[in-house]
A and B are shown apart, each in its own frame.
Chain A
Amino acid sequence: MEFLVGLYLFFAFLTLYFMFLFLILFFRNRPDKTEKLLDLTYFPSLTILIPVWNEAKTIAETIRAVRNSDYPKSKLKILVVNHGSTDNTRKILKKLKVPFIDYLENVGRGKAYAANYGLKHIKTELVAMLDADCYPERSAFSKVVQYFKFKDVAAVTASVLLKEAKNFIQRLQELEYIFIVWVRKLLEYIDSIYVTPGGLSIYRTKILKKVGAFDIHNMTEDIEIAWRLLDNKYKIKMCLGARSYVTVPDTLKKWWRQRLRWDIGGIQTWLKYRSAFFNPKKGMLGWFVAPFFFSSMLLSLLGFFVFLGLFIKRAYTQILFWLYSSSVHINPLSTYEFIISNLYVIFGLLIFGISLFYVYIGAKVYQKNPFSGIRNFFELLVYLTVYLMAFPILMLQSIFLFLTQKEYKWR
Chain B
Amino acid sequence: MVKEKVQTDAFLKAFILTIIVFLLGIFVGYLLEANTLSSVKEDYSNLEIDLTDLDLQSTYYQLSTSSPEFCSAALESNLKFADESYEFGLKLDRLEQTNKLDIPLINDKKKYVLSKLRFWFNSIQLKKECGFDYHTVVYFYSQFPDPKTKAKQNTQSAVLSELKEKHGNNIMLIPMAMDLDLASVNTIVDQYGIDSVPAVIIDESVVLLGVQSAEDIENYIS
CB of A190 within 8 A of CB of B29, answer no
Contacting B33 at CB < 8 Å: which of A190, A288, A342? A342
Closest residue of A by beta carbon distance from B213 = A328
Q: Please report the C-alpha to C-alpha distance between residue A34 and residue B3 in the assembled complex, in whole angstroms.
A: 8
Query: Would A328 and B214 count as touching, CB distance under 8 A?
Result: yes
Asked if B188 lies at the interface with its beta carbon under 8 angstroms from chain A, I say: no
Q: Which positions 311-370 of chain A face chain B at CB distance < 8 Å?
A: 313, 316-321, 323-325, 327-331, 334-335, 337, 339-344, 346-347, 350
State whether B18 touches A17 (Cβ < 8 A).
yes
| A2 touches B (CB below 8 Å) | yes
Which among B4, B25, B97 has the highest number of chain A CB atoms within 10 Å? B25
**Which residue of the partner chain, among A12, A16, A287, A342, contacts B98 with CB atoms under 8 Å?**
A342
Specify the main secondary structure of chain B where it touches its partner.
helix
Q: When the two chains form their complex, are residues A37 and B97 in contact, meaning their CB atoms are under 8 A apart?
A: no
Residue A21 interfacial (CB < 8 Å): yes
Q: Do residues A343 and B100 form an inter-chain contact, with CB atoms below 8 A?
A: yes
B10 with A21: CB separation less than 8 A: yes
Q: Is the CB of A1 within 8 A of B100?
A: yes
CB A23 to nearest CB in B, in angstroms, measures: 8
Residue of B nearest to A312 (CB): B147
Instruction: State whether the Cβ of B73 lies closer than 8 Å to any Cβ in chain A.
Output: no
Known pairs A16-B18, A317-B151, A324-B152; A342 contacts B29 (CB<8 A): yes
A320 and B100: CB pair below 8 A? Answer: no
Using CB atoms, name the residue of chain A closest to B151: A320
Return chain A residues, CB-CB under 8 Å to B13: 24
Q: How many residues of B contact A (CB 8 A)?
A: 46
Which residues from A are CB-within-8-Å of B21? 16, 20, 350
Name the B residues within 8 Å of A37 (CB-CB): 1-2
Pair B7/A28 contact, Cβ less than 8 Å:
yes
Complex: A2 Cα to B102 Cα, angstroms: 9
Binding site for B on A (CB under 8 A): 1-2, 5, 9, 12-13, 16-18, 20-21, 24-25, 28-29, 34-35, 37-38, 147, 149-150, 189-191, 284, 287-288, 313, 316-321, 323-325, 327-331, 334-335, 337, 339-344, 346-347, 350
Could you list 5 A-B pairs, sorted by A, with CB under 8 Å? A18-B14, A20-B21, A324-B151, A328-B213, A350-B21
Residues of chain B at the chain A interface (Cβ within 8 Å):
1-4, 6-8, 10-11, 13-15, 17-18, 21-22, 25-26, 28-29, 32-33, 94, 97-102, 147-148, 150-152, 154-155, 157-159, 161-162, 211-215
